[in-house]
Amino acid sequence: MACNTSISLKEKQEYLKKGKQITQATFKELSGNLMQQMKLGGPSQAVPFCNLQALPIANQISKKFDVTIKRTSNKLRNPKNSPNKREAEIIKQYQILLEKDKELLPIVEVGSDNMKHYYAPIKLNTKCLACHGELRKKLSVKTDSLIKSLYPNDMAINYKKGDFRGIWSIEFKN
């Protein structure tokens, strides 16, 4: 659970702005690279690229902003992205809000580690469905087989456009 250490409204707004900026920069870099790979060779080129480069790209942007950036979900593809206890709680909170037709807004809090954390929902756009969509509809059997060869326990499929995929989790180092 989050620590009782409070954060001022002004500070919270600053971290919301920074978190949004960082997630947008990370998404732009990741999706730009993936779309380039898709153009070069479709999913058969993009999936192995993502497997090898998604974490290094996120780590590179983490260094640039002096934060720790993570994408996590309750339906993992890469086990290296497993949620910690707090991230799992945030995912569950977002799922409850979705069930109640509530808007999913970013969260800023001071954690039990006394660090500031930013969490935001990840929703899928149309381009994501080539690798995360419904099998035999947006996701081909061939692409699914390739994904399963790299991620044997993959659970990150059968999504539709706009579905909640997981969260961005950013820890600010200062």
**115 in any annotated domain:** yes
For the chain, give the percent of residues with pLDDT over 70: 97
Q: Is residue 67 in some structural domain?
A: yes
In a domain, 64, yes or no: yes
Q: Would 91 be classed as within a structural domain? A: yes
Rounded Cα–Cα distance for residues 18 and 9 (Å):
14
73: left (phi over 0), alpha (psi -120 to 50) or beta: beta
Estimate the share of the chain in helix, then strand, then coil, as percent rounded to the nearest 5. 50, 15, 30
pLDDT tens, residue by residue, 93-121: 999 999 999 999 999 999 988 999 999 99
The answer to the question of residue 3 being in a domain is no
**Is 2 within a domain?**
no
* pTM greater than 0.85 (yes/no): yes
Q: 134 in a domain, yes or no?
A: yes
Answer whether residue 4 is part of any domain. no
Cβ–Cβ under 8 Å, residues 155 and 75: yes
Domain count, the chain: 1
Containing structural domain, residue 142: 9-172
Report pLDDT for 70. Answer: 96
